[in-house]
Structure 1
């Protein structure tokens, strides 16, 4: 079935366009009977509102940009679903831009967005806290920006993250409760608050349980898969082999599985593994992977709602605050106590 616009709907009802518009918006200026009649006909004729028409009148595009490092991990893909759901409900269009972990690409994207094609931006940044001039420039033009996941702590706007310190603490404490005494941390995203906070949680848990911090168990990883593989292989093949591993991202957890398989180390007998991830098939790995699951969908919903509220309603502002949503630990066989 095709769709009709506001003019066609008004003609079918024999009412003015203004009356139909007010009825659809549930205005007090129209009677309950008129509202009911208009909404019934709108449903029957498959009326679809035109966000561009109303946005032009208000000098708004009803479009937001989402700038992300990538979409090939389950966390970011799930967060996009949350953003898209809110955008659909609020009749916003979403433009997705990927930086592929390249700071220069992020800056290029922001230069493009200066053209005024979006009302607001949601970003998981790949730039460091001292490299935010491109974001400041666009906010100076009146474009609202909110951060999620990878945030800039010093930038004066709203940021939505998981409770990274607390959840990393709980993950390490879980390994300790399962009998681990030498726990490695695969330190990725070293220049970002998310990596630093998860390291902070790791350290706090060890300190609470009077386990000395061993720098040789903190593997400083990067985007080089083969380099990370060899780094972990060297650790697991050495004399100071850990009996537990906390991975802050799913890629490193999968790397750990491959390394253990090559070295014929049994998970969880020889080493227990827990990872931050929204990996949908974590339960199907052999052994099933114990996970720290950030609330990706809820984070997407939250950050989109806050941004759109600030765009639509004067009483809602983007305050300089951080909102932390709790992650959940799902225990599986990779940390099973023998």
Structure 2
């Protein structure tokens, strides 16, 4: 039996090759019933289209890049699912790059992507620098960019993010209303956009409750597990806090571990709440109060904005912030104890 090609498939269906081609490209300008008939016949005859070669002829990679600061955070794994769902729906593939919160690594990835490998980029910023000129290369190469969660204020692009200020204010207020007076703010990088915004929510909640702000209660940590533990232990010994608002999940996990090792009872002696998409937060000991972000929806919306830009052949996306609300889920780690 001779090999089936697109011409033979089209002849078997009594259709043009362009109609058959549109079916495999997931185009919107083809009747759904016709598309289904084409796909069924292709399966019957054992035809598989060479989409990659076709894309090369049209100078399209049908691929987008996802650039994230880290993998070790449930937020990013859920956001990636949202991005990839949109990519599949649009007939695209994804490439994932992890910067480890290093803006220089981020720049290296962006430079590598400017060779035509991808048509667009969805990115969560790694860290603040004086300039982010590497991202201007994307505009020069006509590769649109959309930020999610973290962005650079000096870069013109859409950013899909959470209502971090309101959420941080509410989380801090929650600790205060449950009896905390010495609340530390735990952060990995207070210079990135979300670090600054979340810290402002923390500060304003203290101010409105009449609790003095003390800069020494802002505990900045690295990404190294051992260094985080040492920093938190030193802060607990020096400051004697009765509560903590962790801006990222890993700092809450380290706090739980420290309290367990040091015999600090939660919530009797110390209360804890954090930003987290951890699905087993309710199974921890004690169950952890969280600010749950719409991670999947954030990734989904960011990708949706990117594909809209690609469909309109836009070189850049509109500079705007799209906010998606988070919710506070109180659990035992912040329970008020009546002494």
TM-score for the superposition, normalised by structure 2? 0.89
Unaligned runs of 5+ in 1: none
SS of 2:116 mapped into structure 1: coil
The aligned residue for residue 9 of structure 2 is 9
Unaligned runs of 5+ in 2: none
- Contact kept? 2:161, 2:322, Cα under 8 Å: yes
The aligned residue for residue 329 of structure 1 is 328
CA distance in 1, matches of 2:305, 2:68: 18
Please give the per-residue CA displacement for 1:95-131, whole angstroms capped at 9, x wherever unaligned: 1111122222222212211211111111112242523
Deviation at 1:7, TM superposition (A): 3.6
The aligned residue for residue 246 of structure 1 is 245
Deviation at 1:14, TM superposition (A): 3.4
What's the Cα RMSD here? 2.6
CA distance in 1, matches of 2:330, 2:289: 5
CA distance in 1, matches of 2:33, 2:232: 70
The aligned residue for residue 165 of structure 2 is 165
Please give the per-residue CA displacement for 1:133-178, whole angstroms capped at 9, x wherever unaligned: 1111222221111211221012111111111111111111111121
SS of 1:65 mapped into structure 2: strand
The aligned residue for residue 230 of structure 1 is 230
Larger CA deviation: 306-315 vs 5-14: 5-14
CA distance in 2, matches of 1:91, 1:26: 11
Matching of residue 293 in structure 1 with residue 292 in structure 2? yes
Deviation at 1:15, TM superposition (A): 3.0
The aligned residue for residue 100 of structure 2 is 100
CA distance in 1, matches of 2:119, 2:274: 36
The aligned residue for residue 192 of structure 1 is 192
SS of 2:128 mapped into structure 1: coil
The aligned residue for residue 209 of structure 2 is 209
| Distance change in 2, residues 1:311/1:233 (3 Å) | same
- Contact kept? 2:103, 2:129, Cα under 8 Å: no
CA distance in 1, matches of 2:159, 2:166: 17
Larger CA deviation: 216-225 vs 258-267: 216-225
Give the number of aligned pairs.
333
- Contact kept? 1:129, 1:152, Cα under 8 Å: no
The aligned residue for residue 88 of structure 1 is 88
SS of 1:237 mapped into structure 2: helix
Map residues 1-338 of structure 1 onto 2, 5 A cutoff: 6-21=6-21, 25=27, 27=29, 37-38=37-38, 41=41, 51-52=51-52, 55-238=55-238, 240-314=239-313, 318-338=317-337
| Distance change in 2, residues 1:68/1:33 (3 Å) | closer
| Distance change in 2, residues 1:284/1:48 (3 Å) | farther
| Distance change in 2, residues 1:127/1:14 (3 Å) | same
- Contact kept? 1:51, 1:62, Cα under 8 Å: no
CA distance in 1, matches of 2:46, 2:295: 33
| Distance change in 2, residues 1:92/1:5 (3 Å) | farther
- Contact kept? 2:294, 2:324, Cα under 8 Å: yes
- Contact kept? 1:26, 1:35, Cα under 8 Å: no
CA distance in 2, matches of 1:41, 1:218: 64
CA distance in 2, matches of 1:220, 1:26: 50
CA distance in 1, matches of 2:282, 2:80: 23
- Contact kept? 1:246, 1:274, Cα under 8 Å: yes
Deviation at 1:301, TM superposition (A): 0.3
- Contact kept? 2:144, 2:316, Cα under 8 Å: no
CA distance in 2, matches of 1:77, 1:5: 39
CA distance in 1, matches of 2:48, 2:208: 58
TM-score for the superposition, normalised by structure 1? 0.89
| Distance change in 2, residues 1:86/1:205 (3 Å) | same
- Contact kept? 1:185, 1:218, Cα under 8 Å: yes
